[in-house]
Structure 1
């Protein structure tokens, strides 16, 4: 005896599978990022930033509007191409607006052999240190 499933039932099944996939990949990225990079508070980030390469992985327009003083912009969309310009001998501190893009960038760095990777907890929106803002 076969079960008859309506079109609405199929849509619900596909939606559940899609949401499970998105949730699973998000959790995987989160835990993978935690295993390859250190989540850093504002104070930890400030304490080490003079000896680190600070990378803003947000898009250029966001970086141009305001960014952490001394940061370099490598948008996540171009990260694979430009990450080789980073030194493996110095720590790499990453930030974005939250931590999703930074986590993905950290995983890429780890795969490429970088060992000292930090991610700003809470991202740029919670940064309380020095910023460079655009001149109007």
Structure 2
């Protein structure tokens, strides 16, 4: 499983790099704030919505602490997606939230 730190994600965003971020937290959690541009697909729905994703793109998966996004990373990897887990999740995110 590939990992990325929140600081690395923040740095890429500050450089205006296009990132495909999927936030697997529940809708209520995301309502309190998310990384700008992140797409919310709760972990429980990910298996049913993976058809919406493009296997030619790379995705960064995030959650509150990094545990659910690790499970999501394993699920998507198993289906042939290129994915990276953001370690520590939103608990350690220091960047902008919307």
Aligned counterpart, 1:127 = 93
Equivalent residue in structure 2 for 1:82, among 30, 33, 49: 49
* TM-score normalised by structure 1 residue count: 0.64
Q: Which runs of 4+ in 1 moved over 3 A?
A: 47-50
In the alignment, which residue of structure 2 is the partner of 1:41?
5
Q: 1 or 2, which has the higher helix percentage?
A: 1
Once residues 107 and 42 of structure 1 are traced to their aligned partners in structure 2, the CA distance between those partners, rounded to angstroms, is 19
Structure 1 or 2, whichever has the larger Rg, is: 1
Gaps of 5+ in 2: none
Deviations 1:68-104 (A, max 9, x none): 1111100011010112211112210011111111111
Are residues 89 and 52 of structure 1, via their aligned partners in 2, closer, same or farther at CA, if it must alter by over 3 Å? farther
Shift of 1:119: 1.3
Q: TM-score, normalised by structure 2?
A: 0.87
Q: How far apart, in 1, do the equivalents of 2:12 and 2:84 lie?
A: 10
How many residue pairs get aligned? The number is 95
Q: 2:60 aligns with which of 93, 100, 123?
A: 93
Question: Using CA pairs below 8 Å that are at least 6 residues apart, which structure has the higher relative contact order?
Answer: 2
Matching residue of 1:62: 29
- 1:9-53 superposed Cα distances (whole Å, 9 cap, x missing partner): xxxxxxxxxxxxxxxxxxxxxxxxxxx3x2211232234453321
Q: Quote the residue 1:9 is aligned against.
A: none
Q: Which runs of 5+ in 1 are unaligned?
A: 1-35
Partners of 1:110 and 1:48 in 2: CA distance = 22
Query: Which residue matches 1:7?
Result: none
